[in-house]
A and B are shown apart, each in its own frame.
Chain A
C-alpha cells in the first residue's frame, strides 16, 4: 500500500525515523477520512443536554443521520433523543431560511417547553447567509429562554472547531444561575457524555469522597445545572479534544482551575480520584479516597487477572476520535497484558502524538486522520488480534477476521470506572477468544504458518 503523498507526515513508525509529525490539518480531498465535520463535533458535545431542544438548521440529512445514534443516557427528560430539523427546501435556499427557522423555534418551544434551545448551523446555512444570531435573539426575548446559535457550519474547519463552537455555546449558559449553597468541595465533570450511564458511576465515586458535582458537562446534562457551573471549585476535564477549550474559557472568566483526568483503566481512574483529593488538600477526603480505590480494585482485580492470563501477549490496534482516549486505552490494554502496535486518532494534537510516542514500544505505528485503506493495511501488517475503534472501523476489523471492541459513542456497555475496566476486559476477552475466528482465512493462514494464534479451547470460551 502507498500512503498518499499529502499524508506521509501523518504516519510514523516509532524507532524508524526522526519524529516529524503533522496533524490538525484539514483532511486530504479524496482520502476517505474517518472524520465527520464541524457540526458533528458540536453535536457530540451538546447532544447529551437532555432538557434542551436541539434544532438542526439545514437540509434534512444532517439531522437525520444524527437522530438518536449515541448512547448518551438521561435520568430524566429525553428531548435530546428527538431529531429536529428545519428541513430546508429549494425555496429557502433561494429566499433565505430565517422565517422558517423563526417559525420552527416558536413551534418547538411552545410544544416541548424546553429549558433552552441550541440551533446548529450547517454548511448550507453558512452559504445562504442566514443570520442565526439575530433570529435566536429575537426568539429568546420573546419566549424567555436561552436560544443559542451554534456556529457549526461543516466546512468551516474540522471536528475540533465544532467542539470549540459548542464550548462557546455552553459559555452562554454558564453564569446565568445562582451559585449559593454550592460546597467548597465541588467539581464540574467536563467531557463525559454519560454513554451507557458512565457519568453515574463517576458521580457516585465523587459523592463517596465527599465531593459535590455541580454539573455534568454535558453527560446527563441539564440546562439549570450548567447555568450554575461557574460556582464549582474545580473543573475535571476528560476527553481533552472537546473540552479543554471550555476549561480554558472558564478559567479566564471565573478563575476555575482544571484537572485533566481520564476514567478509563484502573490507573487513570484512581488518579482521577486522587487528583481531586489532592487538590482539596483534605486529609479525611484523601483517606476516604484511598479506601474507595482499594475497595474497588479489590473487587475487580482477581477477575481482571483471569482475563489477563488469556489475553497476555496479544496485539491490538487503537483508532479513536480523541488522542487522550488513546493514552488510556494503551495503558488499559497493557494492564491486560496486550501490546498496542497501531495507534491513532482523528483529532490529536502534536503534543498528544509526542506523548503517544513516549508511551508506545518501538515499531508501533502512530497515525493521524487515517482512512480505511491505511488502517486495513496496518492491522494486517501487524497481525493484531483486536481493533478498538468506532462504527466505521468495525467492518474493517471484521472483514479480516479480527476481534473488535467499540469504544465510540454508540457503545451500550459502560467502560468508565473500575467496573468499566472489568466490562472492557470482558468485552475484549469475548471478542478475541470467540471460537468464530477459527473459520476465518486469517486464522487458517496463521495456522499453516505455525504462528501462535488466538487459541480458543472450549474450556476457556464462555
Chain B
C-alpha cells in the first residue's frame, strides 16, 4: 500500500471536502424538532443550506446569528441570544443545535458561557434543549463536524441510570435510504433502538399538505436522554477518531457495551453488523436478510468475470472509502485509489487491516487531498471506474471513465438521498450499478455493438 502525500502546493484546487458546520447541521437535522443555528456570518448558513438543498431537494432551514462588523469586535453574544430568541419564537423547537463557524471561533466567543447567560435570562419554561458544538473549519472538515456534533449531543443530553433494553446506533454520514434500511433491520431484529442522527424522514420526506416549519421525523430527544441507559451502543465507522466515537463515550461514561464496526458495505462488513445485532437481540438473523445475502452472493458469482482485476478510484469521507474498498476487494476489483479530502489519519491503517495482502502495493491511499491531487492519481493509475460523489464528474468526463455516484453530494442527478449503499440490499444495488457500468463501457467501445451478453 502506498501512502500518497498530496504534492506540495499552497492552494487547494477543487476541494474534496466541505466545512465542519455542514456536517453538524446535518446531524441536528436528524433530531426530532431540532433547528440548527450557526454562530457566525449569514453567508455560511446560506451556503450550507443551498448545498444541502441541492442534494436532498427538501427545505433545509438553518438559522444564523448573523454577525455584523461590531459583533466581530465586541463578540457575538448579543447576536446569538437574539438569534435564539427568534428561532424559538418562529420555530418552537425541541432542541437548538448551535455550531460555531471559523469566524466565531477566531474571535474566541465562549458559546457555553453565552448559553448559560441566555438560559438564566430566558428561564426554564418553554426553553428548548440547547446543544453546542465547536466546528472551526480550519481544523478538519465536514465529517469531523458531523462526528463532533453527534458526540456533543450525546455528551450534553444523555444521562445514565438503570439499563434498558434499548440499543443505540451511530450510523455515520450515510444516505437517507441507508438510515431507513438500518431502522428496518433493527426493527426486524425486534430491537428497541435510538439512531442518532436520523434524517431519513426530515431530509427525504413525503409531499406535504400544509407547510411544516420543522420537518417531521428524527431521533426523539427523550430517547437521546436515555442513551446512557442503553444496553449497547454501536458506532459505524472505523476511521473515526477516539474522541469522536460516541459509542466509546457511552461505554466509558455509563458502562454501556460499546462496539465499533465498519460501514456495512459488502458481505464481510455487513455480516459483522448482522452478527452483532443477532447477539444483542438474542435471535437468529431474520430469514429475509439471509435471502438477501444469498441473492447477493449469487450475483457476485454471476458477474465475477466482469470485475476481476478492474481498478477503481474511490473518494469521499474516509469511512465511505473504507467501506467501498472492502467491498471492491471482496468481488475481485482493485481499489487502486482510495482518496479523501479529510485527514482521519486512520484510513491507511484500516485499509491494511481489511484488504487482502495481495492488494498491498496496488492501492494508493491519499488523505487530505483535493480533486487536483485525485486527477493526478487518475492520470497515473488509469482506473476503470470512479466511485464517489458528483463532484468527480468533471474528471469522469475528462478521462472518459464511468462514474458511480455514491455518498454526498449528488448534485447532478435526482435521488441522491435514495441511494442505498449499505447492507446486503444496498450492496446489491451498488454491485449491479458497477457491473453494468463496466459492461456498458465495453459495449460502447466495441465496434460490434452486441446487444446480448
Using a CB–CB cutoff of 8 Å, the interface residues on chain A facing chain B are 2, 4, 6, 26-40, 55, 58-68, 82-90, 92-93, 100-101, 103-104, 107-108, 123-124, 126-128, 154-157, 371-373, 376-377, 380, 391-392, 394-396, 398-401, 439-442, 445
Residues of A within 8 A of B60 (CB): 395
29 chain-A/chain-B pairs, Cβ below 8 angstroms: A2-B90, A27-B66, A28-B82, A29-B64, A30-B82, A30-B87, A31-B63, A32-B62, A34-B46, A58-B102, A59-B138, A61-B21, A62-B47, A65-B18, A65-B47, A82-B13, A87-B11, A87-B15, A126-B72, A155-B41, A155-B67, A371-B61, A372-B59, A373-B90, A392-B49, A395-B58, A400-B210, A401-B207, A441-B208
Give chain B's interface residue range (CB within 8 Å of chain A): 35 or more
Contact B46 A40 (CB under 8 A): yes
B1-57 with Cβ < 8 A to chain A: 9-15, 17-22, 37, 40-51, 53-54, 57
Candidates A29, A61, A93, A439; contact of B79 at CB < 8 Å: A29
Contact A36 B139 (CB under 8 A): no
Residues of A within 8 A of B348 (CB): none
Contact B43 A38 (CB under 8 A): yes
Contact B46 A398 (CB under 8 A): no
Other A-B contacts than A33-B66, A38-B43, A90-B139, 8 sampled, CB-CB below 8 A, are A32-B63, A63-B12, A92-B138, A123-B103, A155-B71, A399-B58, A399-B208, A439-B207
Task: Say yes or no for B396: interface residue by CB 8 A criterion.
Answer: no
Candidates A6, A61, A399; contact of B22 at CB < 8 Å: A61
Candidates A30, A128, A380; contact of B64 at CB < 8 Å: A30
Task: Say yes or no for B89: interface residue by CB 8 A criterion.
Answer: yes
Residues of A within 8 A of B9 (CB): 103-104, 107
Q: Across the A-B interface, how many residue pairs have beta carbons closer than 8 Å? A: 234
Residues of A within 8 A of B44 (CB): 37, 61-62, 123, 154
Q: A375's closest neighbor in chain B, by CB? A: B211
CA distance A249 to B37 in the complex (A): 39
Candidates B72, B82, B101, B137; contact of A29 at CB < 8 Å: B82
B63-117 with Cβ < 8 A to chain A: 63-69, 71-72, 79-80, 82-87, 89-91, 101-103, 106-107
CA distance A388 to B394 in the complex (A): 30
CA distance A399 to B87 in the complex (A): 21
Residues of A within 8 A of B137 (CB): 59-61
Contact A398 B57 (CB under 8 A): yes
Contact B207 A60 (CB under 8 A): no
Contact B90 A4 (CB under 8 A): yes
> Per-residue 0/1 for B134-145: is the Cβ within 8 Å of any A Cβ (1 yes, 0 no)?
001111010000
Secondary structure of the B contact surface, majority rule: mixed
Task: Say yes or no for B121: interface residue by CB 8 A criterion.
Answer: no
CA distance A317 to B139 in the complex (A): 42
CA distance A39 to B43 in the complex (A): 8
Contact B11 A104 (CB under 8 A): yes
Contact B48 A65 (CB under 8 A): yes
Q: A39's closest neighbor in chain B, by CB? A: B43
Task: Say yes or no for B223: interface residue by CB 8 A criterion.
Answer: no
Chain B: minimal CB distance from A79 (Å): 11
Residues of A within 8 A of B83 (CB): 29-30
Contact B19 A59 (CB under 8 A): yes
Residues of B within 8 A of A55 (CB): 11
Among A62, A101, A104, A445, find the residue whose CB has the most chain B CB atoms closer than 10 A. Answer: A62
> Per-residue 0/1 for B195-234: is the Cβ within 8 Å of any A Cβ (1 yes, 0 no)?
0000000000101111111000000000000000000000
Q: A41's closest neighbor in chain B, by CB? A: B43
Task: Say yes or no for B391: interface residue by CB 8 A criterion.
Answer: yes
Residues of B within 8 A of A28 (CB): 66, 82, 86
Q: B10's closest neighbor in chain A, by CB? A: A103
CA distance A79 to B205 in the complex (A): 38
Knowing A60-B17, A372-B61, say if A445 contacts B102 (CB, 8 Å).
Answer: no
CA distance A201 to B162 in the complex (A): 72
Residues of A within 8 A of B208 (CB): 399-401, 441
CA distance A366 to B375 in the complex (A): 49
* Shortest beta-carbon contacts, A-B, top 7: A37-B43, A61-B19, A30-B83, A30-B86, A441-B209, A376-B211, A103-B10
Contact A127 B50 (CB under 8 A): no
Residues of B within 8 A of A61 (CB): 18-22, 44, 47-48, 102, 137
Chain A: minimal CB distance from B275 (Å): 39
CA distance A120 to B268 in the complex (A): 48
Residues of B within 8 A of A377 (CB): 211
CA distance A399 to B210 in the complex (A): 9
Knowing A60-B17, A61-B137, A441-B207, say if A32 contacts B61 (CB, 8 Å).
Answer: yes
